[in-house]
Amino acid sequence: MSFVFRTARARTTPLAMRLAQRQPIVIRTTQFRTAATKAKASSSSTKKAGPIPANTRSDVSSIISTIKTIFFSGALAVVAYGGFMAVTDTRFSTFHRYVVVPAIRYLFPDGEEAHHASTLAMKKMGELGINIRERGNPDREGDLAVEIFGETLWNPIGTSAGIDKSAEVPDELLALGGSYVEVGGIVPEPQEGNAKPRLFRVVSQNALINRFGLNSEGADRVAQRLRERVQAYAKKVGLGSGAAAEQAVLNGETGVPPGSLVSGKLMGVQIGKNKETADDIESVVNDYVTCVNKLGRYADVIVVNVSSPNTEGLRDLQAQGPLTRILSEVTKAAQKIERKTKPKVIVKVSPDEDSQEQVSGICQAIYDSGVDGVIVGNTTKQRPNPAILPDEEKHILNETGGYSGPQLFPRTVALVGKYRETLDKEAERTGAGKKVVFGSGGITNGRQALEVLKAGADMVQVYTA
């Protein structure tokens, strides 16, 4: 009974206060000894057994109470440690899904604010070393390992562009367990993007509509951040600081890919064009090449974005002529990067330009320019049937922007299959090597990931749901 009472009190009184209120154990022990000695002396002088003095009883109970406090604090520390290990482990996804996500939605009614707050939290947790991560090696047998771009990756799962537009948390994203992280899209000059609000939740469908419009801090700022990251890594592994150390890391001298800085993983850097850039192909090409020159040395993979639905005219660049030109120039620029191994180049396409004619034109551009593959695909301008939405959400479908989320899944499977078939036919016809296909759009679980892989993808990327 007394234990129950003390435990309840201990729970409601902060540990620090309780400890501050106590006398140091040593003093109390001395008092006990003194009391005990006095008692002994008195008993030996009278030679009579009597009741234990009151102050001795109180000292004994004080010690018992101290032991209980220590025990309770220890138990609390174990529980806190266990809790910390659980909530920072990706395998405790039930907690993240059913507690963290609803809490963030509640605290931040605006989706973009929620995104920034989450990114900041990831960054701060990363700095303190308490970021969420995959612990241990759940795939000891290497069953999930895949070979992409000559690298053996841990698994064929990655995250999509738009999660970390300015490369603030690539390491924290890589720690989540996937083998591929794509930062960006980044454009040459800083640009605000479209007016806010520009991100809308379709909660009942776990979906989003966004019209960010490639908001970006610009290539210089992001390149600076990536440079500092490489230099910090060089210092950490004992190469020292400065340009020589940075170059050594980028040349692969530490045995890790120069982008991800983690063996068995890759980092893509996605590039685009500024909204204000003139429409002529020279200006457009110049934007992409500028990005390659500034950012390419920090990338394992350069991703050419010609498919965001929120930059006017961008998707027109998927026509075979301009696309071949852009991809050829990007490939040439990538080959000139001062680094032992050059970054691979892939292009991210839209799921809306999906006729066989359009797909064939893009595949032709991929082969003619010599890029290494394709990401299929970006957000869609299409909308699901409003009938599946509750009445209070139907109006959200009228927002302009790209739709993402589970409803994209069947189209992703179909389009990945179409690209795989068309690319492979071209490979056969020309005798050129096979191209890599990444699948993105509505992939929400392992079964779906497998389905997209079976349809012909080498890697799947996740974002919205």
Enter the DSSP assignment of 402: E
The footprint of ligand FMN (CB under 6 A) covers 160-162, 165, 185, 199, 208, 210, 212, 214, 270, 305, 308, 348, 378-379, 404-405, 408, 440-443, 462-464
Tell me the closest approach of the beta carbon of residue 198 to ligand FMN, in angstroms: 9
Q: How far apart are CA 341 and CA 335, in angstroms?
A: 9
Which residues, 6+ apart, have CB-to-CB distance to 59 below 8 Å? 28, 31, 32, 35
Tell me the closest approach of the beta carbon of residue 376 to ligand FMN, in angstroms: 9
Q: Which is nearer to ligand FMN, 118 or 320 (CB)?
A: 118
Q: Which residues are catalytic?
A: 308
Tell me the closest approach of the beta carbon of residue 340 to ligand FMN, in angstroms: 28
Neighbours of 359 (CB within 10 A): 21
Neighbours of 204 (CB within 10 A): 12
Tell me the closest approach of the beta carbon of residue 255 to ligand FMN, in angstroms: 30
Tell me the closest approach of the beta carbon of residue 351 to ligand FMN, in angstroms: 8
| CA dist list (Å): 226 to 229, 271, 295, 334, 415 | 5, 14, 8, 17, 33
Tell me the closest approach of the beta carbon of residue 210 to ligand FMN, in angstroms: 4
For residue 129, the Cα-to-chain-centroid distance in whole angstroms is 15
Q: How far apart are CA 64 and CA 152, in angstroms?
A: 59
Contact 439, 377 (CB under 8 A): no
Q: Which is nearer to ligand FMN, 290 or 464 (CB)?
A: 464
Residues of 247-283 as b/e, b for ≥16 C-beta within 10 angstroms? Answer: bbbbeeebebbbbbbbebbbbbbbbbbbbebeeeeee
Which uninterrupted H or E stretch holds 362?
helix 356-369
Which residues, 6+ apart, have CB-to-CB distance to 198 below 8 Å? 112, 210, 211, 212, 213, 401
Q: Which is nearer to ligand FMN, 162 or 361 (CB)?
A: 162
Q: Which is nearer to ligand FMN, 164 or 246 (CB)?
A: 164
Which residues, 6+ apart, have CB-to-CB distance to 293 below 8 Å? 333, 337
| CA dist list (Å): 336 to 72, 252, 419 | 63, 17, 29
Q: Which is nearer to ligand FMN, 35 or 178 (CB)?
A: 178
Q: Which is nearer to ligand FMN, 239 or 462 (CB)?
A: 462
